[in-house]
Amino acid sequence: QLEQALRVRLDFMVFTGFEPSAGELPDASTICRFRNRLVKAELEQKLLALINSQLEQRGLKVQGARGAIIDATIIPSAARPRQHVEGEGEQARLVDSADSEARWVKKGKHAFFGYRGHTAVDSEDGYVEHVQVHPANEAEINKLPEIVEALSPGIEAVLADKGYDANSLRDRLAATETEAVIPSTRSRKAPIPYDAEAYQGRNRIERAF
């Protein structure tokens, strides 16, 4: 999708400085290798923070937004699942997937092989503040504390859906004086009050996805 956007979208061309007429656009595999090198060098989050800082300086993004909207989405792997059978009869053989880190997860009535992309956006404009990607079978609720820690200091409120409603998470947020704007699950005998008006802005993260 990024390779295609660099060819047809003027905003992508201007932002990256590539000129399609010069025949210098990177293909998908080049982009993937470059991204993997950034991740290995632990530079991707630093670059994201730098870009957000520049957006704030230009007045395009609210400076020092105090709220964060957090959620996760399924990212299917482009590779076939682990240990699948190729061939038929005597020619059949068990083959390991080229994607050794992807895992299965069931969501609703459907099963997916891939990853979960954990994303945090600011509650004012919906700009992406932080991204993590983990195997799909790792529970998203366990990732929220480290995402909040990565966004600190300055986060005063976290908006998340009821899938993040857990006493342990609420206690950790309270310990850092961070408001939990999280609705209660039906299993709670006594629902915990939350800022319903602020929660209406949670749909900004869907645009990020």
**Segment 45-68, tens digit of pLDDT:** 899 989 988 988 998 887 766 889
Residue 93 has pLDDT above 70, yes or no: no
- Give the pLDDT score at 95: 63
155 vs 70: CA distance, rounded Å: 12
CA-based radius of gyration for the chain: 20
27 vs 6: CA distance, rounded Å: 9
The answer to whether the pTM exceeds 0.85 is no
Helices and strands (H, E) in the chain, number of each type: 8, 8
157 vs 65: CA distance, rounded Å: 10
**Helix-strand-coil split of the chain, %, nearest 5:** 40, 25, 35
Residue type at 181? V
- Give the pLDDT score at 150: 86
Respond yes or no on whether the N-terminal peptide bond of residue 153 is cis (omega within 30° of 0): yes
Mean pLDDT of 183-206: 91
121 vs 101: CA distance, rounded Å: 26
- Give the pLDDT score at 154: 72
Mean pLDDT of 95-120: 85
97 against 119, higher pLDDT: 119
Mean pLDDT of 72-86: 77
Which residues in 89-112 are b (16+ Cβ under 10 Å) and which e? eeeeeeeeeebeebbebeeeeeeb
193 vs 179: CA distance, rounded Å: 11
Mean pLDDT of 79-97: 66
Mean pLDDT of 18-43: 88
165 vs 187: CA distance, rounded Å: 10
- Give the pLDDT score at 151: 85
Question: Which of 40, 42, 114 is closest to 74 using CA atoms?
Answer: 114
Mean pLDDT of 94-113: 81
Mean pLDDT of 94-110: 79
Scanning the structure block, which residue is given the tokens 């004012």?
124
DSSP 75-101: EE-SSPPSSEEESSGGG-EEE--S-SS
88 against 2, higher pLDDT: 2
Which pLDDT band holds residue 24 (cuts at 50, 70, 90)? confident
